Structure 1
Amino acid sequence: MSAKYIVAGLVGSCAISYACDYIVSQKKIFGGTIPGTVSDKEWWQATEKRFQAWPRTAGPPVIMNPISRQNFIVKDLNP
C-alpha cells in the first residue's frame, strides 16, 4: 500500500518540477530573452567553423565540446 504513495509522490514531484522548469525557462516569468547567439543559425555555423579551424599543437585534433558531438576525434573533411 505504501508503494502507491511513493510512486504517486514521484510522479507528482516530476510533474511539478517539469511545470516549474517550463514556466521559468520557456515562458520567462522573470524576464529576459533568448540570446541571439543561441537562435541565430549563421552565428552557430561560423562559430563551429572557427572551432574546427582552431590551431592544435600536440596530439590529434579534438572536438571543443565532445559531449555535443559524441565523436571525440575530428576527421579532416578535405583529404
Structure 2
Amino acid sequence: MPARGLITRVKNSEARLIYMATKYIVGSVAASFAFAYACGVYLADRKVLGGTTPRTVATSEWWQETDRKFQAWPRTAGPPVAMNPISRQNFVVKPSSET
C-alpha cells in the first residue's frame, strides 16, 4: 500500500507543477500583449518620439480622390480561365451552350 500513496503524491506534484507552469505561461503571454499594446499606443498614436501623421492618412480628401481615380479606369478582362496548379497550365473556359 505505501507504493500507491507514493504514486498519488507524484501525480499530485506533477499536476501542481503543470498548473504552476500554465499560470506563468498564460500570465507572461498576457503581459507581453499588454506591453506591445502600450508601446504601440505611445509610439505610434501619441508620437512620443516625434513626427507627424501624413496628410494622406489624416484627411479623407486623398482617399476620395484615389477612389475616384480607381473607379474611372476602364475595366477590361479576357475570357474566364481554369487554372491547373499541378501542371501550371491555364486553359480558356468556353461557355457551354444550353439548348
Pairwise TM-score range, normalised by the shorter structure:
0.5 to 0.7
**Greater RCO (Cα-Cα under 8 Å, separation 6 or more):** 1
When the two chains are superposed, the root-mean-square deviation of aligned CA atoms in Å is 1.8
What is the number of equivalent residue pairs in this alignment?
A: 60
Instruction: Provide the residue aligned with 1:13 in structure 2.
Output: 32
Larger Rg, first or second structure (1 or 2)? 2
Unaligned 5+ runs, structure 1:
61-79
TM-score (norm 1): 0.65
Instruction: Provide the residue aligned with 1:32 in structure 2.
Output: 51
Percent identity of equivalent pairs: 53
Instruction: Provide the residue aligned with 1:45 in structure 2.
Output: 64
Unaligned 5+ runs, structure 2:
1-19, 80-99
TM-score (norm 2): 0.53
